[in-house]
Structure 1
């Protein structure tokens, strides 16, 4: 079986199954999903397809309820032969920077293998995400006063200088206690990501993933600077 992708200039690119064998996908939006934004596959179907392709492992993300390691544990039991991992994305549903939620996730199901510092609920994303109105991009905060009032006030922010909030310090400590757990910077601003990486290193965390640096947010030089940190 070969996957075939049609390209815009009448060419095609074949992706043999051999390319997938033994690989790991470390960022899978597996669901379950909101009814308003349904996915094509459920977590079990995703695992079955990945296993059939000969993949080694998957890392599940849940951007709705935040914690995916319960789902990953159930899928692992029902779909043997492929490793499934999960973790926690700190969302406004879970109270933002919430040490109790992180501590619970670390002990829930198979245990969280990553702690992610927010996606669409970070202050950076909540300030910039929007939609097109009359052909022009308009942030949600400018379209909907209720969104600006409620979401911005509870969004996740990392202080760029000064003292570290107690909640953030406790979360960093929880991650540092577990060498097998990764810190994921999430959808923070570039400046916040740099600050969080420095704080994580100071806390003794050695497994750090900088999320989505190539979407025009970070220059190549900035990425090199982060990669060079001890």
Structure 2
């Protein structure tokens, strides 16, 4: 029988329906696929709305349907884009009170993202080399709830400023969101430096958009970064859900197979990136 390489894994980055953009799978379909494969947990993400309440409903459905035959859990969070008021501590506090685990800094309305795509009406996290004042309250909430600060689509320089300010504020869990994504544009050397200086984790994902609705796989360059910096500093996630890409369970299986069969990583190394590091972030 083929080994089930998805058993016990955790994916911290999946886009699901309902959404303003068409998605490949909805929340319940993700749950069913995860339970069938023995997946430990996933985090559903939206650029436009908090996902915490949706995750809680899915968990209740899972419990009623599967009881203690599955330990799968779905988690949510909030992305601090224009749609929730930008850097909005009230939105963060509400999401965390409801059980949210991840707080993403602005993604598709981040200043860095908008400038690279010639858009306006962005959300800033840094002004004049310092974090915006509202972030201080956000950091305090993240610290108090032992949540995860994700950097979203901000620039490498902004990531460093944010990471330093967050560490100084007592934030314990910081993840650099897909630094390989061209919008973020963090070189391997910059990734290694921010890991060394601020002890952050690097989330590397399955694929990224390159324009015109086309996506390219990141697997080869992800492996190169993992080998250069060290697996202990990485989280494997898919950032899946786009109609152009495979179904989530196909993406994560292909990614993990690649780590073993092409990357040559050991089970301990793969487990660190797919199970242990994400579990530590979720506190499970």
Name the TM-score, length of structure 1 as normaliser. Answer: 0.77
Q: Given the alignment, which residue of 163, 184, 195 partners 2:150?
A: 184
Match of 1:223 in 2: 191
- Tell me the secondary structure at the aligned position of residue 186 of structure 2: coil
**1: distance between equivalents of 2:3 and 2:11?**
15
Matched, 1:167 2:134: yes
CA shift digits 1:78-123 (9 cap, x unpaired):
1232111111111101110011111111112xx1101110110101
Cα distance change on mapping 1:173 and 1:44 into 2, 3 Å = same
**2: distance between equivalents of 1:48 and 1:85?**
15
**2: distance between equivalents of 1:211 and 1:19?**
24
**Contact 1:17-1:53 at 8 Å conserved across structures:** no
- Tell me the secondary structure at the aligned position of residue 74 of structure 2: strand
* Long gaps (5+) in structure 2: 64-69, 200-284
- Tell me the secondary structure at the aligned position of residue 18 of structure 1: coil
Shift of 1:76: 0.6
Shift of 1:160: 5.3
Matched, 1:115 2:103: yes
Shift of 1:213: 1.0
**2: distance between equivalents of 1:17 and 1:51?**
16
**Contact 1:185-1:210 at 8 Å conserved across structures:** yes
Cα distance change on mapping 1:17 and 1:75 into 2, 3 Å = farther
* Long gaps (5+) in structure 1: 2-15, 130-138, 142-147
Matched, 1:193 2:183: no
Structure-to-structure mapping, 1:103-142, within 5 angstroms: 103-108=93-98, 111-129=99-117, 139=118, 141=119
Matched, 1:86 2:53: no
Structure of higher CA gyration radius: 1
Shift of 1:214: 1.7
- What RMSD in Å do the two structures reach over aligned CA positions? 1.7
**Contact 1:160-1:192 at 8 Å conserved across structures:** no
CA shift digits 1:32-89 (9 cap, x unpaired):
111xx22132101111011111111111101222x11111100011123211111111
Match of 1:23 in 2: 9
Name the TM-score, length of structure 2 as normaliser. Answer: 0.63
**2: distance between equivalents of 1:178 and 1:42?**
28
Structure with a larger share of its residues in helix:
2
